[in-house]
A and B are shown apart, each in its own frame.
Chain A
């Protein structure tokens, strides 16, 4: 392998993990863009989704098969959480919502700890170490699948937001809540749909991560920290920004892992994060202030 091959392989691998980062970040930025809150329960919901995928696997259901049903279930859970818990408990005050999602994350994490204790678990899938031969490098099959599915989800989400009535209502509520209410749009329903979509993104991400990653009651937090970085880089509330930011961060992580060693891979992300905050506080892809 030439050094160019190594570099190309690192970029490619970065794009693969970046796509899943992007998926997690899209859920976070969507909720921010519409409800104007940072969902502090995002990480805990991801952990819960990974346990759900893990349990499905224990019951003999492959994560890729479990993906669609789990996405639907988590959509329903997210919808119910917003409609029945977060919405009513917040009394319309954004600060309350923030605290409630923080409280929810604590509740969810501790429930997971109580039920599953703090063991780290992994699954053994037959294709766990399968690779695709690209000539200059080998690509792990689960990572390639994660990339493909993430791209597909991004396209589906785009169609939903751009083409469907619900999607248009989501975009309307995001920018003009009062106007939307007066036009007859049920804002509480749209909030809940949005929250449900965020949770569904996490369920899909969980199924994509399970074949190559471990499961733990706090596993989601590591991902959501990176996702939060991505959301800020991409411009708060911007979905194209979250996708571009996710891929970008994946590549940065992979390249800095190549240069400074695997364990310092995330160093590059946070260095860039701080630089961007200093130079362009609205994010790399966000609107100019």
Chain B
């Protein structure tokens, strides 16, 4: 079996001494899409924050590309190739679209940055039209494009997307899932946190369901999609 790009072992983490995650273990194969699903407040974002170095785990290991990253700074984790596009976008509202994107590859050289920018604008031609506009004045869909574009500017190998379809109209949600599939086809490994369960399962190679900070069900996307009991019990559908 090929070694996983991301390996999470028995992760316990939380805030102010209390634990949210109860010993999460999962693997993400290079080139795959892995979905983490679950109701509000179960700890999905907390897991992402541990992976990107924002929250220090209380126990467990995060191994990315053969390297322990759970004690590294967020900037070093980005440099290692793991980028987390946060829930709620967290753009720089006063800065232009261009500046927002550029800051995603803050540590790289000008030439490399220009090349990556070219790629991002090919994926999101709409952003080229909005290049000089302040990010805070963009529509929700455009802001999500900037957030993902800023993440891509870091030249990640693993992209974590935390609820990328949040707050988007149904048609845009559809587009977002198409886009995620396309990003995966061109070689990005994706860890997807979503509330749109069926669409996520359709896209995902593997999926996990989280409840109270624990992964309670795992399988391929197709397996979980066919499990009607699962939908009722864990996802409130």
Contact = CB atoms under 8 A, between A and B. Distances in A.
B15 interface: no
A180 B93 contact: no
Contacts of B105: 184
Given A171-B95, A172-B95, A182 B90 contact: yes
Given A176-B93, A182-B86, A168 B103 contact: yes
**Secondary structure at chain B's binding surface: helix, strand, loop or mixed?**
loop
A175 B106 contact: no
Contacts of A178: 54, 86, 90
Interface residues of B, number: 30
Contacts of A183: 78, 103-104, 106, 150-151, 153-154
A186 B103 contact: no
B4 to A, nearest CB: 22
Interface string A143-179: 0000000000000000000000100110110011011
Given A165-B106, A171-B94, A176-B91, A184 B154 contact: yes
Given A168-B103, A172-B103, A179 B78 contact: no
A160 to B, nearest CB: 14
B93 A184 contact: no
Interface in B56-108: 73-75, 78-79, 83-86, 89-95, 99, 102-107
A184 B75 contact: yes
Given A184-B79, A184-B106, A184-B107, A171 B92 contact: yes
B74 A181 contact: yes
Contacts of A171: 92, 94-95
A183 B83 CA distance: 7
B52 A182 contact: yes
B39 to A, nearest CB: 23
A12 interface: no
A132 B196 CA distance: 73
A169 B90 contact: no
Contact of B73 (A165, A168, A186): A186
5 contacts: A180-B92, A182-B54, A183-B151, A184-B105, A184-B154
Interface of A: 165, 168-169, 171-172, 175-176, 178-188
| Closest 7 pairs between A and B when the two form their complex, measured CB to CB | A179-B90, A184-B78, A181-B74, A172-B92, A186-B75, A183-B104, A184-B75
